[in-house]
Each structure stands twice: as C-alpha cells, then as structure tokens.
Amino acid sequence: MERNENGFTVIEVLLCVVIIATGIIAIFRPFLGAVSTLHHLDRRIEAANLLNQKIWEFQSATQESGQLTGGKTQGVLMGGEIAYHYHSQATRVDNSPRLFKVNFKATWNENGFGKSLLKDVYVLLPYKNPE
C-alpha cells in the first residue's frame, strides 16, 4: 500500500482548526467583556446626566419660589434607548428651617438586573426678611 505524502490527514486539519479557534476565542473574549463594560458605563453616564438635569431643575424652582417645591417626588426620565425612573426625598438638616438634604435616585433595568444611581444634594432656601 502506497502512502501519498502530498496532503494533510483529517486529524491534522481538525487539530489545526481547534488551535485556530482557541486562539480566536482567547483574543476576542476580552474585547467582548470591554464592549459590555462600555455599554454599562454609557447607561450610567446617561442616568447621571439626566439626574443632574433634574437636580438643576429642582434647585432652580426652589430658588425662584423661595420654598421647597416638594418633599417627595418621582417620575420618569427618558434616555436615548431606555427610561430611567427617579425618586427624590427632602429632609431637614438638624431642624434648620432653611437647610435641606435631598436624596435623588435613578433606577433602570440592564440585562435583567436592576441598576441604580444615588446623589445627595444640600439645598439652602433663600433668607426672607421678616416684615
């Protein structure tokens, strides 16, 4: 029986395919993890920007009216791809008539997991002269 030495055997071809596939997986796996992390950070930055906008609106309304516009509020902030739910709650600091701590919280679902972002803001009401 004569053996043809000009080609590759099936075993050699399969072994080569396995080695190449393992190399490709080893190279691209960190990239897939990085893409997932970037997607999460993009959502978190969007939530932070929307929450900051809501905080500025709250502070502006408080400064214009001279009083706290609401002790507890909630609503929806529309992002580019998803909706973020927000809650805020104001509490007096050390029984001060003018200083309040306001907790802002944005929540959203990402890949089946609940995510949240918290921010605390101190608001000082304008001083009113007694007449």
CATH code for the domain in which residue 17 is found: 3.30.1300.30
Strands (E) in the chain, as ranges, are 72-78, 83-92, 99-110, 113-124
User: Checking phi first, is residue 95 left (phi over 0); if not, alpha (psi -120 to 50) or beta?
Assistant: left
Residue 105: which of 81, 70, 77 has the closest Cα?
77
State residue 11's pLDDT score.
Answer: 92
Is 4 part of a structural domain of the chain? no
Is 5 part of a structural domain of the chain? no
State residue 128's pLDDT score.
Answer: 74
State residue 4's pLDDT score.
Answer: 61
State residue 41's pLDDT score.
Answer: 93
Give how many domains the chain has, as a whole number: 1
Is 109 part of a structural domain of the chain? yes
Is 77 part of a structural domain of the chain? yes
To the nearest whole percent, how much of the chain has pLDDT over 90?
45
107: containing domain: 10-124
Is 131 part of a structural domain of the chain? no
Is 130 part of a structural domain of the chain? no
Task: Using 70 as the pLDDT threshold, list the residues of the chain that sit under it.
Answer: 1-4, 69-70, 129-131
Is 105 part of a structural domain of the chain? yes
